[in-house]
Structure 1
């Protein structure tokens, strides 16, 4: 299983909770230095608690399942418009 698949598998453990709140997350990139860049979708992109969700939920789930990952960051939606 490659790195992206392992990260996706970790996300699947928390994705149902995000979907329940009208949000979701997608992997945009995993850099050469093992930083996962995520795009917050739906309500996750506009929720004032999304930073806490990233740090306490998403980041922990990924780093626990894939110890090679050094950081998890959200890609700013405004940068992509």
Structure 2
């Protein structure tokens, strides 16, 4: 199901988000639960909950009825932590 979800994201959802300078990354699919990260302008946006429900979940369920839920993953990546450490260490 991961590949089917990824195809819907790439073909239908991502173009909609890019119109508003956002993006989306598929993290995991398990038992009908899709985990995603919102990127770009969508990351941390106050309307992220509505984006997930009104766009992501709606479009996924329209194309793949087995999708039950979409969960937003919000943890910071290790790459971002490492980059921040480098920047902070340079300023000392």
The unaligned stretches of length 5 or more in structure 1 are none
Which residue number in structure 2 is paired with residue 20 of structure 1?
19
TM-score, normalising length from structure 1? 0.83
Structure-1 residue corresponding to 2:63: 65
Moved over 3 A (4+): none
Greater Rg by CA: 2
Residue 77 of structure 1, CA deviation? 3.0
Measured after TM superposition, the shift of residue 50 of structure 1 is 1.2
* Equivalence for 1:40: 38
CA distance in 2, matches of 1:10, 1:73: 16
CA RMSD of aligned residues (A): 1.4
Alignment coverage as a number of residue pairs: 77
- The structure whose RCO (Cα within 8 Å, separation 6+) is larger is 1
Gaps of 5+ in 2: 79-92
Alpha carbons 1:4, 1:30 under 8 Å: kept: yes
Question: Residues of 2 paired with 1:25 and 1:61: CA distance?
Answer: 13
- 8 Å contact 1:45–1:77 — kept in the other structure? no
